[in-house]
Amino acid sequence: AQSVTQLGSHVSVSEGALVLLRCNYSSSVPPYLFWYVQYPNQGLQLLLKYTSAATLVKGINGFEAEFKKSETSFHLTKPSAHMSDAAEYFCAVSTYGGSQGNLIFGKGTKLSVKP
Amino acid sequence: KAGVTQTPRYLIKTRGQQVTLSCSPISGHRSVSWYQQTPGQGLQFLFEYFSETQRNKGNFPGRFSGRQFSNSRSEMNVSTLELGDSALYLCASSLLPGAPNTEAFFGQGTRLTVV
């Protein structure tokens, strides 16, 4: 069975600092992994996805994530945080065929950005 | 192009009542999924529909049901509401199910409060 674990329910960084949000997965089959962002009172927006094509995945808004099979990790990074990055971030794994219609989500990490 | 539309945005119901939530997918999208988001349990998959057929179902009691119409619009119904059903219910639409390169687009959700 697939699962994801996000380390740290809250992360706080200063504007301009590196953003690192951690995600570890468990999967009995090659996983399809996703990062979503949720702003207050909004739905989820896809940031990026790993579908086995390349281990370093670039997404929107300057975010990227690296798939490391040996560490079962898919951490999300951004070199320089912006105030507008303050939101909740969710890592997810697809339960079959890479479909985004049936996802298992982590508990989420709330990112705060200090001026 | 219009996004995923969920109605109503907010709903207050009394314990024991039933409720119906609606989701209109992006035009041309035929797959609709539903998720429940609560502070305690996070995001949990409810069910997925494609071409009016339920393809997958999450681990929820039978009080939770759904359907999809021929125009791909979907409804979910919760009967005999309990306080624990208070949550944000998110709908996501995608072109086709089971395809890793098919992005799922989320609506803004329906915030259900059971009193």
pLDDT in tens, B13-65: 999 999 999 999 999 999 999 999 999 899 999 999 999 999 888 889 999 99
Select the residue of B44, B48, B101 nearest A101 (Cβ to Cβ): B48
Q: How confident is the model at residue B66 (pLDDT cuts 50, 70, 90)?
A: very high
Quote the pLDDT of residue B16.
98
Q: How confident is the model at residue B72 (pLDDT cuts 50, 70, 90)?
A: very high
Residue in the block written with tokens 């962002």:
A37
- In tens, the pLDDT along B89-103 reads 999 998 877 665 667
Report the C-alpha gap between B99 and B27 in whole angstroms. Answer: 18
Contact B106, A44 (CB under 8 A): yes
- pLDDT, average across residues B66-74: 97
Could you tell me which chain A residue has the CA closest to the CA of B50?
A: A101
pLDDT tens-place values along chain A, 115 residues long: 788 999 999 999 999 999 999 999 988 777 888 999 999 888 999 999 888 778 899 999 999 999 999 999 999 999 999 999 999 999 998 866 555 567 889 999 999 999 9
Which of B29, B43, B49, B93 is the best mutation test for A, with the most CBs of A within 10 A?
A: B43
On whether any CB of chain A is under 8 Å from the CB of B103, the answer is yes
Please judge whether A105 and B42 are an interchain contact, meaning their C-beta atoms are less than 8 angstroms apart: yes
On whether any CB of chain A is under 8 Å from the CB of B45, the answer is yes
Beta strands in B1-115, from DSSP E residues, in sequence order: 5-7, 10-13, 19-24, 31-38, 42-50, 53-57, 64-68, 74-78, 87-94, 105-106, 110-114
Select the residue of B90, B98, B108 nearest A96 (Cβ to Cβ): B98
- pLDDT, average across residues B84-89: 97
Q: Judging by beta carbons within 10 Å of its beta carbon (0-12, 13-18, 19+), is residue B17 exposed, middle or buried?
A: exposed
Quote the pLDDT of residue A53.
74
